[in-house]
Amino acid sequence: MASATIERPKPERRWFGGRQGAQRRFVAAVLSPALAYMAVFLLLPVAWALLLAFFDFSPRRTGSPFLGLGLDNPFVGVEHFRRMFDFSSTAPLEVRQFHTALKVTLLFAFIVVPLNLAITLPLAAMIESVRGRWKVLYRTVFFLPVLTSAVSVAIIWGFVLHPQRGLLNGVISRVTGRFTATAWTTDPDLMFLGVPIALFAIIVAYLWQDIGYNLVIFIAALQAIPDSVKDAARVDGATAWQTFRYITLPLLKPTILLASVLTMISAFQVFDLFQVMTNGGPDDQTRALSLDIYESAFRYQRMGWAAAVSVVLFLLVFTISVVQSRFLRANWEY
């Protein structure tokens, strides 16, 4: 009897046959290894970092089989975060260094971003109004430092600012007629408006390396503005400055916001320049957060504490990104 039943084809063989099945298998074959990889190298580290922030963990001590946590690496709850608010002079060294680092990083970011925009925006407008070969030449000159490794930038600027052999002191002696071996990056008493000169030295090197990046972004945005708009303004008798102020600038607003936020986010994470140019000195005056995290984790092996500080850094960056999306929600069309 069974042989009499005719096998009806299934309405849709979803996973294992036919065209659609082949597509699904392809997607599965691509996604499953990728997701497994991302789970190990992206998701696990983030979860692990969050976990570490609640333990007094050092890789030197033995912990339980589970990620080495527990036993000699005890759970401390929110202790790390509570200690971050200990502003007394008896606070442990790492807490005071964290406060210094937070201050240095905020100072650095809030000085760098406005300076960067104040330089790149007019410079981009200037380069954009130049023609042909000259434009490429200027853009290349300002873009070369972007391509240079931060380590080289730090070494080159360390040499430019060297007390005895540096270019800056050489030029100053040429102008004043007297040689003074000013130690720009190592003298803790050099201050300007309460900001250490050593920090300014890093700011200058960072700006030198970084302006080419925003420059390229702004030049592209300027090119996207139709010539007809600017020509119309010119025919109406607007000066170059008026055209820039009332036509170009408003149209660039979204790009300016995006560039300022991206610059801010990367300024919070600068490590190479701080480590190579000053290594946090003099007297921790240039100890940035990223350097503080690196030193705590890998020099002093206080990885639990370092993870807690890195969570704070993440929250800072995250807050800025959220503020960014708020600002960028408004759209400008032309």
Nearer to other proteins, 81 or 314 (CB): 314
300: nearest Cα among 46, 58, 98, 78? 58
Which stretches within the chain are classed as H helix? 18-38, 44-52, 79-83, 93-128, 132-147, 150-160, 167-176, 197-224, 227-235, 240-243, 249-268, 272-273, 289-294, 303-329
Query: Is the CB of 61 or the CB of 194 nearer to other proteins?
Result: 61
Tokens of 177: 């007629």
Minimal distance, residue 6 CB to other proteins, in Å: 29
Residue with smaller CB distance to other proteins, 191 or 284: 284
For the bound state, the minimum distance from the C-beta of residue 190 to other proteins, rounded and expressed in Å, comes to: 20
Cβ at position 137, least distance to other proteins in Å: 8
Q: How far is the CB of 234 from other proteins (least distance, A)?
A: 5
What letter does residue 91 receive in the DSSP assignment? S
CB of 159 to other proteins, least distance (A): 6
Integer angstrom CA distances of residue 1 from 5, 110, 237: 7, 85, 96
Q: Which is nearer to other proteins, 58 or 107 (CB)?
A: 58
Q: Using CA of residue 255, residue 258, residue 264, residue 265, what is the dihedral sign?
A: negative
Non-local (6+) Cβ contacts of 254 within 8 A are 328, 331, 332
Shorter beta-carbon distance to other proteins: residue 78 or 137: 137
